[in-house]
Amino acid sequence: MNTSTTTPTATSDRIAAGTTDPAPGSYQIDPSHSSLEAVARHLMVSKVRGRFGDFGGTIVVADDVTQSRVEVEIDAASINTHDVQRDGHLRSDDFLDVERFGKLRFVSTQVERVGSDWKVRGDLTIRDVTQAVTLDVSYLGQLSDPWGNTRAAFSATTQLDRESFGMTWNQALEAGGVVVGKTLNIELEIEAVLQAE
């Protein structure tokens, strides 16, 4: 988790192993200043982005950052691709099946430092299927906002095989290939607020 020299950071940042780490404590994700997107191939060539509008969670930064943990819960029905028909299909039992499985959950199991960045491993549950995933995480810095809160910012990415979570719907194309790629690229931009002890 590396801090750019142009990013303002609070004095509560820590220098550890030559990198800058967030201050220890419990941080609540601020969904109004965060984004969680899934990107899929459409017709084998273009990309379609879906954003989950309703999610939250906690990032607990330990004194030894490798002992930190993350828990996130996502409202499956909040998926939005800016196409009403497609969003309805994604909420159906072909994909997220939101009537039976209203929440997606991620719970970390391990945090590993890799150079200036981190690998956060954990269990992701979609449609009541739990798979191990690894988030590649960068820490972007920490600062005080105008209202006296301490905020930390993170970026993270991972890839998922949607079929491994039971989302196997597809349609073959006459020219070969399928309508929807089975690999999802997940992109997160997170602001989290340090909670008072």
5 lies in some domain: no
**Residue 141's Cα: distance from chain center in Å?**
17
Domain CATH code at residue 54: 2.40.128.110
Q: What residues make up the domain containing 77? A: 14-194
Structure tokens at 44: 């084998």
Residues 119, 122: Cα–Cα separation, whole Å: 10
Q: What is the DSSP letter of 172?
A: B
Query: Which whole number is the average pLDDT over 45-55?
Result: 87
Q: What is the pLDDT of residues 143-172, one digit of tens each?
A: 899 989 999 999 999 999 989 999 887 666
Report the share of the chain in percent with pLDDT over 90: 66
68 lies in some domain: yes
Residues 42, 172: Cα–Cα separation, whole Å: 12
7 lies in some domain: no
Distances (CA, A) of 71 to 44, 126, 173: 33, 14, 39
Instruction: Say if residues 90 and 52 touch (Cβ distance below 8 Å).
Output: no
Confidence at residue 18, expressed as pLDDT on a 0 to 100 scale:
47
157 lies in some domain: yes
176 lies in some domain: yes
Residues ≥6 apart with Cβ < 8 Å to 86: 48
Confidence at residue 45, expressed as pLDDT on a 0 to 100 scale:
61
Provide long-range contacts, Cβ within 8 A and 24+ apart, for 109-113: 110/66, 111/65, 111/66, 111/67, 111/68, 111/69, 112/66, 113/17, 113/19, 113/65, 113/66
161 lies in some domain: yes
Q: What is the pLDDT of residues 8-48, one digit of tens each?
A: 444 455 544 445 789 999 999 999 999 999 998 654 566 88
Q: What is the pLDDT of residues 86-97, one digit of tens each?
A: 899 999 999 999
Report the share of the chain in percent with pLDDT over 70: 82
Give the chain's domain count: 1
Confidence at residue 169, expressed as pLDDT on a 0 to 100 scale:
76
Sign of CA dihedral 162, 165, 169, 173: positive
Residues 81, 48: Cα–Cα separation, whole Å: 7
109 lies in some domain: yes
Residues ≥6 apart with Cβ < 8 Å to 164: 129, 131
**Residue 23's Cα: distance from chain center in Å?**
21
75 lies in some domain: yes
Q: Give this prediction's pTM.
A: 0.85
| Max Cα–Cα distance, the chain, nearest Å | 60
